């Protein structure tokens, strides 16, 4: 069986990079894309010259300006960011048997079995791709390659700002072992405090705990995150194959009937799929839900919905489908969501529908901010 090779590509300081393409005189200068301080603005992207002063995405602009008074504050220009992102996506799809746009500046490619096609070395080919993105589009990038999406993304973060890091098959746990548990998806402030209470600060420490201890003290979500720390993760890319369907699914470390955990998993999935819809500029008219029970019997349900790319709407419908599908009372092994019946977004918002207009602008703003973080820090709607 061929080793799975997933690449994660991140356009480095993307918003700043685009602003420098628009204003070459800003190259090498301290730039931050941020809202106005007197309007309670926040930083969405900071150049590395600014980060040296302790400024980071999500920081209040007023604080950032105190930390780095020499920083040049720039308003965001989302249309320009979307245009440059679209160019890179078009280019990457030429070399991607399976491609997933994870956000405006992050992309997954499944290169499994492509070694011969690339001359025997995926890393050498990745270097070529990276060089072409810089030369053709003026955008620097970093890249991580591993056997699953989570480890590939962490490897990419480890390679920033301009490197490439490949994790050999079987070396995932060793790579993650010394890293802070904060690098793992799903470890927010609450989970981090819980881990610190047990003096768990590295991925290796979390990975070595017994499943019984993790489940008792951190719940099913803790077991899920422990799987990431052990080097596990999904290698299934959420892609629109000929614009027919996008989907994602999770196989749990342990079969479960934990309602809170199932809802949280669905919530994470809907956030992810809705973001892919928005970056692909399409809306879905049908949602599918799949359950696999402990006895490996599948249960599926689907429903028609009004065209949407709103995660709150999709999550609400997913919960309805879960209630309809979960009729057997057995522990659940796998859960998955699919979206289909796509159509392009309307060319313009209905200017007479004020609530819808505000909602669309809010979604775009959230996408812009989240794309600059290692994790999704602003979520639309909450898991029960």
The pair of three-digit structure tokens given for residue 293, joined into one six-digit string? 């029970």
**Residue 360, pLDDT score:** 55
- Please name which of 172, 209, 217, 211 lies closest in space to residue 191, comparing C-alpha atoms: 217
Quote the CA–CA distance of 369 and 45 in Å, as a whole number: 8
Select the CATH number that applies to the domain covering 15-78 from these four: 3.40.50.1100, 3.40.1170.60, 3.40.190.10, 3.50.50.60: 3.40.1170.60
| CB neighbour class for 203 (10 Å; exposed up to 12, middle 13-18, buried from 19) | buried
Where b means 16+ CB within 10 Å and e means fewer, 170-188 reads eebbebbbebebebbbebe
Q: Are 383 and 221 in contact (CB under 8 A)?
A: no
Catalytic residues: 106
Alpha helices (H) in 167-238, listed in sequence order = 172-176, 189-197, 203-207, 211-229
Q: Are 285 and 347 in contact (CB under 8 A)?
A: no
Question: Hey, where are the domains in the chain?
Answer: 6-13+79-173, 15-78, 178-229, 241-370
Quote the CA–CA distance of 98 and 100 in Å, as a whole number: 7
- The fold for domain 178-229 equals DNA polymerase; domain 1 (1.10.150)
Averaged over 115-128, what is the pLDDT?
Answer: 82
Distances (CA, A) of 71 to 51, 55, 279: 10, 10, 30
**pLDDT tens figures, 140-177:** 999 999 999 999 999 999 999 999 999 999 999 999 99
Q: Is the pLDDT of residue 35 over 50?
A: yes
Average confidence score pLDDT of the chain: 87
**pLDDT tens figures, 286-326:** 999 999 998 888 899 999 999 999 999 999 999 999 999 99
Select the CATH number that applies to the domain covering 241-370 from these four: 3.40.50.10860, 3.30.1490.100, 1.10.3720.10, 3.30.300.130: 3.30.1490.100
Averaged over 356-375, what is the pLDDT?
Answer: 51
Select the CATH number that applies to the domain covering 6-13+79-173 from these four: 3.40.50.460, 2.60.40.1930, 3.40.50.2000, 3.30.70.270: 3.30.70.270
């Amino acid at each position: 069986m061929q080793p799975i090779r997933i690449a994660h590509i991140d356009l480095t300081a993307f918003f700043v990079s685009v602003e420098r393409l628009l204003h070459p005189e800003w190259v090498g200068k301290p730039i931050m894309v941020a809202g106005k301080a007197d309007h309670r603005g926040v930083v969405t992207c900071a150049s590395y010259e600014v980060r040296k002063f302790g400024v980071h995405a999500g920081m209040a602009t007023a604080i950032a300006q105190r930390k780095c008074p020499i920083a040049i504050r720039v308003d965001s220009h989302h249309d320009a960011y979307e245009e440059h992102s679209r160019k890179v996506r078009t280019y990457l799809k030429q070399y991607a048997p399976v491609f997933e746009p994870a956000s405006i500046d992050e992309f997954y490619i499944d290169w499994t079995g492509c070694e011969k096609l690339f001359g025997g070395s995926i890393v050498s080919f990745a270097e070529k791709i990276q060089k072409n993105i810089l030369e053709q589009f003026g955008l620097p990038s970093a890249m991580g390659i591993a056997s699953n999406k989570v480890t590939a993304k962490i490897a990419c973060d480890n390679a920033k700002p301009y490197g490439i890091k490949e994790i050999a098959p079987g070396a995932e746990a060793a790579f993650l072992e010394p890293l802070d548990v904060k690098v793992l998806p799903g470890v927010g402030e609450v989970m981090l405090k819980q881990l610190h209470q047990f003096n768990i600060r590295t991925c290796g420490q979390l990975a070595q705990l017994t499943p019984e201890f993790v489940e008792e003290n951190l719940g099913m979500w803790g077991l899920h995150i422990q799987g990431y720390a052990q080097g596990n993760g999904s290698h299934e890319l959420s892609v629109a194959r000929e614009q027919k369907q996008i989907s994602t699914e999770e196989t749990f470390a342990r079969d479960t009937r934990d309602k809170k955990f199932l809802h949280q998993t669905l919530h994470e999935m809907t956030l992810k799929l809705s973001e892919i819809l928005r970056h692909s500029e399409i809306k879905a008219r049908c949602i599918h839900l799949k359950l696999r029970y402990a006895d490996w019997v599948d249960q599926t349900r689907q429903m028609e919905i009004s065209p949407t790319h709103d995660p709150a709407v999709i999550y609400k419908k997913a919960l309805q489908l879960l209630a309809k599908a979960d009729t057997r009372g057995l522990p659940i092994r796998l859960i998955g969501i699919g979206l289909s019946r796509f159509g392009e977004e309307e060319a313009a918002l209905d200017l007479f529908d004020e609530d819808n207009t505000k909602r669309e602008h809010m979604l775009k703003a959230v996408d812009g901010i989240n794309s600059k973080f290692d994790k999704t820090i602003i979520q639309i709607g909450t898991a029960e």
